Chain A
């Protein structure tokens, strides 16, 4: 995902556009934001808005298996009789939770490594950046596969594995920011007046690096959601009965020809969530970087 974006943001531009102006620039931003908001709110309110909250957990109903969509089960039931609507809604919690975890961990680690490299420079910079390259060379899915086959598969381990492949993007971004800012006046000024290095990083460099990192994060959320779902689909992420979308698709795969609803709806949820994130990311980018958008 990151391939397509975020690479040419002007490092020192600090655009602070009002939301309305941003939305005007990119209609997709509004659509994405509304869609994203709906998904987040659904996830948060899941226990109160789902018809069968117990179906997100250990409940099973052998007599009600593989019922098609109907009034009592709007999206049908799965192979052990659980309500799919309930599980899809609860699934938002799992996917968004994993995404938040990965984003926070990789942003923190990435910023720490990138700022150190960019600010200190020299040999430290070279070594840190080569390490970053090594992690960058592993496609996210594969490192996650290797890690979860060593650790036991679970949602947390999958999230850790994804974070391990995601932080390098932030490290690179933060390093570029730090290096650029290091040569800027205000940092030099701070140095002249005798501010400590740590203080400089905290007061000046970090806030400047933050804006492009946020844009990057919103674009990355889509990639993380897809990777997490793929890992669960392969059996390397969340385990049954966790209502994880990828896992639900894999549980329905063998039934696809006879009970299409079991695979269709959880997969659609993944698609819509990823689309929402990409709309938001793309919209933010257009808004912050007018050259990319309408001229």
Chain B
């Protein structure tokens, strides 16, 4: 067991190193001189040279790479060109706001997707299965940007049921002033018991959460169904069934448990995917998180920030996968072999 965990961790470490190396290579591909860009339009040759020394651009490539890796490990992810703040500070500021959306979306996705998959597996081969499959495929085939715009159009512009954008209705500030605790209005409102703001914030989250949840929901339903059917076909299930257990208890007791593994793996996988989907969702719904930050960076040609976001999401992916592997090894010893 320890041996497996160690080798898995070493592998992850190698991938982390590779991920950092790849962002370094991309950064090197940029045409033009970052020192000139940083020093600004009025810079003298001396100032440009100073910037070059400051960024270590006068060093050989391997040295620059070591400095780059060292910097990332120390928490120095470069300076954003458009906010002028350290990239890591920016990320730590915006990521929690995005996490609120993504975590809610994944809860919805698993909460609806797994039962849907179970339902499909139970009615395998019948109409219910087919409808569930069509629904799941529609969910994973949905272009996120389009879905976001259409939801806004229908539920705000036409029906007027839900707010269009932002985190909460700010005109509530005068009647129910919000204490800032973690700088995420919905969490702040919950923690301080500010119900009018919490209600407003929750309403503001409905459409973005649905949009982000679509893909993981469909994927979750399909994986759940497949995993259960795989297991239902296996010997021990047939035995249980032959012994006369009712369908429901076969599903609940025996088939579901080994199906948890693929679902767990899927959630880890779609987590990173949902982070990138938040790009579009946040820009459409004006949600000030990682996605809005990334879009601003793209439009400002702000390479340090773009690479910072890229690196961050890639690292999240690697660590989640590692965590899932470890969790699976703990749950199911067969995985280790």
State if A and B touch, Cβ cutoff 8 Å: yes
How distant is the Cα of A253 from the Cα of B144 in the complex, in angstroms? 13
Please give the distance in Å from A138's CB to the nearest CB on chain B. 5
Binding site for B on A (CB under 8 A): 1, 3-5, 8, 27-28, 130-131, 133-135, 137-143, 145-147, 149-151, 222, 226, 229-230, 233-236, 246, 249-250, 253, 256-257, 260, 263-264, 266-268, 270-271, 274-275, 277-279, 282, 291-295
Residues of A within 8 Å of B11, CB to CB, are 130, 133
Task: Classify the secondary structure of B's interface with A.
Answer: helix
How distant is the Cα of A279 from the Cα of B81 in the complex, in angstroms? 45
Q: Tell me if A270 and B29 are in contact (CB < 8 A).
A: no
Residues of B within 8 Å of A229, CB to CB, are 143, 145
Instruction: Name B145's closest neighbour in chain A (CB-CB).
Output: A233
Q: Tell me if A234 and B295 are in contact (CB < 8 A).
A: yes
Residues of A within 8 Å of B141, CB to CB, are 222, 226, 271, 274-275, 277-278
**Besides A3-B273, A137-B315, A146-B26, 9 other A-B contacts (C-beta < 8 A):** A133-B14, A138-B19, A139-B273, A146-B23, A230-B144, A267-B143, A271-B141, A292-B229, A295-B124
Of B26, B134, B137, the contact of A150 (CB 8 Å cutoff): B26
Instruction: Mark each residue of chain B from 307 to 324: 1 if its CB lies under 8 Å from any CB of chain A, else 0.
Output: 101100111011000000
Q: Tell me if B153 and A133 are in contact (CB < 8 A).
A: no
Chain B interface residue count, CB cutoff 8 Å, equals 65
Q: Tell me if A150 and B222 are in contact (CB < 8 A).
A: no
* Known contacts A130-B18, A139-B275: A222-B140 contact under CB 8 Å: yes
Q: Tell me if B134 and A28 are in contact (CB < 8 A).
A: yes
Of B219, B222, B301, the contact of A149 (CB 8 Å cutoff): B301
Q: Which of B38-46, B264-272, B328-336 contacts A (4 or more CB under 8 A)?
A: B264-272
* Known contacts A4-B140, A253-B149: A150-B30 contact under CB 8 Å: yes
Q: Tell me if A150 and B303 are in contact (CB < 8 A).
A: yes
Residues of B within 8 Å of A267, CB to CB, are 143, 145-147, 149-150
How distant is the Cα of A211 from the Cα of B307 in the complex, in angstroms? 37
How distant is the Cα of A250 from the Cα of B144 in the complex, in angstroms? 12
Please give the distance in Å from B323's CB to the nearest CB on chain A. 14
- Which of A5, A143, A151 counts the most B-chain CB atoms under 10 A from its CB? A143
Of A146, A234, A260, A263, the contact of B279 (CB 8 Å cutoff): A234
Instruction: Name A143's closest neighbour in chain B (CB-CB).
Output: B310
